[in-house]
Structure 1
């Protein structure tokens, strides 16, 4: 892969969902489908919205290790990124990625106590395409 940031960035931007994985209190990996990230900084930092009351938030507060996966079903390729998640509940973080229509999920608006932000920071990744996988550092 000549330019991981460009190649993987395009794949991520076209994905209509993300799979995020966390570790539960018994050490098992749990994966959940999520809406795509609201923002991304190249292929290093990703910003997601979620419910503060969710299990993933509970477990990320205990253990920030995580992975996110994006897939391009059309061309049967994907990327797995491994890193850590920060649970952000500040007004600044919540306002940063709030969008019109989010009241469908968070009826009290941007200050809804059940609305928070997950900021995922990648450390490394693995890209799969054309029956081949390759590891890369971020």
Structure 2
């Protein structure tokens, strides 16, 4: 049963990844409190991992440097996909190029921009409500 729900959740994540899509990313701030930002997931592998694009020195990267625990949530009136895990800052030029999408040109000069970086989230556990079926567990 969980495999079907996990697979369906992965399909939903894929539909909500890329330009003009949004999800919520929760990180821990410098005072130890969770903070949530709306952000575009650039790519994903089901619910296993997701990537986001942002700037070095942003609030997000500062928070990740201090504590890389994170949570991601995709939701609508038809589903709630909550993923919990860790997130890392990636500056590898090949990864930056692979994760680049058109909307980022509003913030960066291109994938080679030294301020542009990729955040890679890796799921450790999940809480899924998809098609009115629930699954909780660890990857």
Fold match by TM threshold 0.5: yes
Tell me the secondary structure at the aligned position of residue 111 of structure 2.
helix
Tell me the secondary structure at the aligned position of residue 61 of structure 2.
helix
2:59 pairs with 1:58 = no
The 3 A distance-change label for structure 1 pair 113 and 25 is same
Tell me the secondary structure at the aligned position of residue 38 of structure 1.
strand
Q: Distance in 2 between matches of 1:93 and 1:58?
A: 20
Aligned to 1:13: 14
In structure 2, runs of 5+ residues without a counterpart are none
Tell me the secondary structure at the aligned position of residue 110 of structure 1.
coil
Q: Number of paired residues?
A: 134
Q: CA deviation at 1:115?
A: 0.9
2:121 pairs with 1:116 = no
Q: CA deviation at 1:56?
A: 1.0
In structure 1, runs of 5+ residues without a counterpart are none
Among 17, 33, 39, the residue aligned to 1:28: 33
Aligned to 2:100: 98
Q: CA deviation at 1:99?
A: 2.5
Q: Distance in 2 between matches of 1:14 and 1:42?
A: 10
Q: CA deviation at 1:131?
A: 6.4
Q: Is the 8 A contact 1:89 1:117 kept in 2?
A: yes
TM-score (normalizing by structure 1): 0.86
The 3 A distance-change label for structure 1 pair 130 and 61 is same
Q: CA deviation at 1:127?
A: 1.1
Q: Distance in 1 between matches of 2:103 and 2:71?
A: 27
The 3 A distance-change label for structure 1 pair 78 and 88 is same
Aligned to 2:81: 79
Q: CA deviation at 1:133?
A: 4.4
Q: Distance in 2 between matches of 1:26 and 1:55?
A: 13
